[in-house]
Amino acid sequence: MSADTRNPVLVIGLGRFGCAVAHTLERMGHEVLGVDLDPAMVQDNAAHLTQVVEADATDGDVLEKLGARSFTSAVVGIGTDIEASVLAVLALSDLAVPNIWAKATNDKHGRILQRTGAHHVVFPEERMGERVARLLNERLLDFISFDNDFAIAKLAAPRSIQGLPLVTSQCRKKFDVTVIGVKREGQDFIHAVPDTLILPDDVLVISGRVEHIEAFAAD
């Protein structure tokens, strides 16, 4: 879902996840067609989205009448009803929608969605649970994980590198992490270079494998 093209997006399922996606897309400038079987959900979102329709999105004929074929991207936000989420993805796949995103509640659900036709599967509860667990150690200020245990994190500068330029601290050699940038109170974000001096109150944005980031944060 490219923010640059601002293509219309079809969002199926207007629960917490679907609403968050749909409303964010609207703020980004996309037109959004929201679809939900619950009339209350439709009414709640009518004033916030380009168009909202009460319909059964598991039915391919219904989706075709709604113009699903004309969308380049669709998001299936149905989570608790696994059968409905799978059928919605299957219907979108049958209509040859080229970019289908779907929410999964667990790995098995995710594999079924992929085999049914989803191009991208997300696990919002699992990701949020991991993120909260990482942040509970109080060393990390923010944390985003990706595949293959790679992550980007925000953390207070470890005491061991305070007062040193990055080239001297040898973060990459010692911990195999990369300092992307530095944020200082009252100043703009600084893109890190070898000569960047790390001050005691600096907040760092770093990238690397999760275990390396945590070891660096604890140093």
Mean pLDDT throughout 98-106? 93
Give the pLDDT score at 1. Answer: 42
More confident residue, 101 or 138: 101
Residue 177 has pLDDT above 80, yes or no: yes
Indicate whether 2 belongs to any domain. no
Q: How confident is the model at residue 49 (pLDDT cuts 50, 70, 90)?
A: very high
Whether 20 and 36 map to the same domain: the answer is yes
Q: Residue 146: which CATH number?
A: 3.30.70.1450
Whether 104 and 144 map to the same domain: the answer is no
Give the pLDDT score at 3. Answer: 38
Q: Residue 23: which CATH number?
A: 3.40.50.720
Q: How confident is the prediction for the chain on average, in pLDDT?
A: 89
Instruction: Tell me how many degrees the CA angle 101-106-112 measures, rounded to the nearest 5.
Output: 60
Mean pLDDT throughout 56-63? 96
pLDDT tens digits, residue range 78-91? 978 999 999 999 99
Give the pLDDT score at 2. Answer: 41
Mark which of 122, 153, 186 sits at the end of a domain: 122
Whether 50 and 91 map to the same domain: the answer is yes
Domain total of the chain: 2
**DSSP conformation letters of 96-137:** T-S-EEEE-SSHHHHHHHHHHT-SEEE-HHHHHHHHHHHHTT
Q: How confident is the model at residue 214 (pLDDT cuts 50, 70, 90)?
A: confident
Indicate whether 103 belongs to any domain. yes
pLDDT tens digits, residue range 106-145? 889 999 999 999 999 988 876 766 667 666 656 788 888 7
Mark which of 93, 122, 151 sits at the end of a domain: 122
Indicate whether 1 belongs to any domain. no
Indicate whether 3 belongs to any domain. no
pLDDT tens digits, residue range 134-176? 666 567 888 887 766 788 989 999 999 999 999 999 888 899 9
> Running DSSP on this structure, what letter comes out for residue 95?
T
Give the pLDDT score at 4. Answer: 44
